Structure 1
Amino acid sequence: MSHAEAEAATVGLLHPGRMGGGFGGALADAGHRVLWCRVDRSAATARRAEEFGLRAVDDLARLTALSDVIVSICPPHHAPQVAAAVAESGFRGLFLDANGTTRAALLELAGKLSAADIRVVDGCVIGPCPQDAPGARLHLAGEGDDVARIISLFDGTGIRALDTGGSLGAASALKTSYATYQKVAYVLAGIAYAYADAQGVIEPLVGEASLITRSPLTEVLEDGMLPSVASRAWRWGPELTRCADALREAGLPGDLADAAIPALERWFPARDAFDGDTRRALDLLGGRP
């Protein structure tokens, strides 16, 4: 598809919330006509849509009748409801579910849309809202031509649209993988600082944090750290039990420390014997002896 063809697209956006509004604005700035539906939307949503240059329509049927592509960016637990409403509206174009739910949820949603003759692309967003900072990535999975169509829509925007190279469900699986780490990591950081604050050691903790130059998400594979972690799991388990007890004594939740222990226990049988074998560490964690 040429860039000129991409510029002619009419995109129905469901919905212009904080993330969706930024994506809609990026598409509008790139020359697309971006529509949104007023039904059940707040005054704040209306103001945001106007700010981003989106065009309002009065109902979903009108939006889907005018749109070549529907982009769904909403809270993941609302994604099936949004998709069902689009299917019932008679839409027969290309539907991008950019909600990054789970592989199973995406495949169930895609099956219902496909039964209504709607083509589906699986997507997930990683990175900041486009209006806040540059660098958002839209990872995509599905049929090659459909993925290419979505990528072309974002040509010239500040959003990087990337093909995972996988089938439907791959983008959602990527989001699940990334969110599992990112969201829990921020919660853990908050708990760590709260405990350090309560114990009067927040300044040295900040000093230690300043020495961290790489993310554990990078280190476990690129630096071969996962086998090292696995080989020490038999010692880390009891240590985390003590950490959980200390957190609770300070009035903080210890559940996240407790929750790591069953994962560590899967590595106990091979203590001190991984020899840098990342594959073996992953297999044991996944219950594959």
Structure 2
Amino acid sequence: MDQPTVGILHPGSMGAAVAACAATNAAAVLWCAAGRSSASAERAMKAGLTSVATLPDLLDRSDIVISLCPPVAAEDLAHDVARAGFAGVYVEANAINPERATRISEELGPEATVVDAGVVGSPPVRGKTPTLYLSGSPAATARLEALFAGTRVRTKVLGTDVGQASALKLAYAAYQKTSRVLVALATGLAREHGVDQELIDVASRRTASYLSEPEYIAKTAARAWRWGPELEEAADMLEAAGLPPQMLRAAATTLARWDDVKDDSKLTLNDALDRLVQP
């Protein structure tokens, strides 16, 4: 069985937990202590990672490098790796858009093999089992499937094109994280008028995710002509309460792309999505 040496850049809460799972099937999992915080060092120690002094040390010894860092740093980090001449498998697992993932692949290639990746779910601790979505070279993605086999990190290969995993990650994040912000706005707005508990009571009657009901998009489009103005009214309320209204105004602007399909009961999901892309 292939037991590669793995390098993790850098052990944040997700990176350290993923690296600890990789250690199950790896010869060693390395991290670079240079410039890292004491919190990173503590996470690495708890995960059982092996410290090396410099990035070139880590790259020289690693067969597979996993990049898990704040999105803003992803390209700079990849540039440093490319400049060092890394020639193994580079797993670009940051929450970045497909265009950035493609640029990173082009910068690191052809010496390195870049696998586009995206983690969906919470860090694999206390029974959590996130999924690492992968796209890229079949040989490289197969190595990663083997690396995480039998661990709390599940893997799923989406295809061979760099960018597919990044696209899935950000598509899901767009819904999940924006939804959390909307919860904060809705609750803040209700609290200003003393009805926040009632709002929670209303919401508790429905627990399913709207993301699991794509067929409803066509109904949303057909109702957009009245939903848009309703959201503008809500945005005015937010502004009056000192809360930021921009998100609801943006949603109203999005709904306006469907103004010409008022109450169209025959509209299909594809029709609605086509109109959203090309109003």
Instruction: Please give the per-residue CA displacement for 1:203-239, whole angstroms capped at 9, x wherever unaligned.
Output: 21111111113111111x2xx2111000000001111
Within a 5 Å distance, the mapping from 1:60-71 to structure 2 comes to: 60-71=55-66
1:135 is displaced (CA, Å) by: 2.1
- 1:248 maps to a residue whose letter is E
1:74 is aligned, of 55, 69, 78, to 69
- Are positions 1:144 and 2:138 aligned together? yes
Q: Which AA in structure 2 matches 1:81? A: D
Which one-letter code corresponds to 1:122 in the other structure?
Answer: D
Which whole-Å CA distance do the structure 2 matches of 1:31 and 1:167 have between them? 26
Which amino acid in the other structure matches residue 131 of structure 1?
Answer: V
Is 1:61–1:89's contact at 8 Å kept on the other side of the alignment?
yes
Query: Alpha-carbon deviation of 1:132?
Result: 5.2
Q: Distance in 2 between matches of 1:32 and 1:182?
A: 36
Match for 1:131 among 125, 131, 149?
125
Q: Which residue of structure 2 lines up, in the alignment, with residue 233 of structure 1?
A: 224
Is residue 161 of structure 1 aligned with residue 155 of structure 2? yes
Aligned residue in 2 for 1:203: 197
Name the amino acid aligned to 2:40.
T
Structure 1 residue aligned with 2:22: 27
What aligned pairs does 1:44-59 form with structure 2 within 5 A after superposition? 44-59=39-54
Change (3 A) 1:31 1:105: closer
How far did residue 133 of structure 1 move?
4.7
Q: Distance in 2 between matches of 1:77 and 1:251?
A: 30
Inter-partner Cα distance in structure 1 for 2:261 and 2:267 = 12
Retained in 2: the 8 A contact 1:137–1:159? yes
Aligned equivalents of 1:282 and 1:151: distance in 2? Answer: 34
Cα distance, 1:102 vs structure 2? 0.3
Return the offset for 1:100.
2.7
Deviation at 1:175, TM superposition (A): 1.4
The SS at the match of 2:23 is helix
- 1:139 aligns to what SS in structure 2? strand
What does residue 275 of structure 2 align with? 284
The alpha-carbon deviation at position 148 of structure 1 amounts to: 1.1
CA RMSD of aligned residues (A): 1.3
Match of 2:173 in 1: 179
Is 1:249 the counterpart of 2:240 in the alignment?
A: yes
Identity %: 39
Q: Which moved more, 1:236-245 or 1:271-280?
A: 271-280
Give the secondary structure class of the aligned counterpart of 2:91. Answer: strand
Q: What letter corresponds to residue 209 of structure 1 in structure 2?
A: A
The runs of at least 4 aligned residues of structure 1 exceeding 3 Å deviation read 29-32
Distance 2:91 2:185 in 1: 36
TM-score, length of structure 2 as denominator length: 0.96
Correspondence for 2:33: 38
Q: Which ranges of structure 1 fall in alignment gaps of 5 or more residues?
A: none
Q: Per-residue displacement from partner, 1:53-81 (whole Å, max 9, x unpaired)?
A: 00001111111111110000001111111
How many residue pairs end up in the alignment? 279
| 1:155 partner amino acid | A
Is the Cα contact below 8 Å between 1:274 and 1:280 reproduced in 2? no
Q: CA deviation at 1:131?
A: 2.5
Deviation, structure 1 residue 166: 4.7
Cα distance between partner residues in 1 of 2:62 and 2:137: 20
2:92 aligned residue: 97
- Name the amino acid aligned to 1:35: L
Distance in 2 of aligned mates of 1:216 and 1:32: 43
CA distance in 2 between counterparts of 1:156 and 1:33 reads 17
Gap runs ≥5 in structure 2: none
Equivalent position of 1:119 in the other structure: 113
Q: Report the AA paired with residue 9 of structure 1.
A: P
| Code of the aligned partner of 2:5 | T
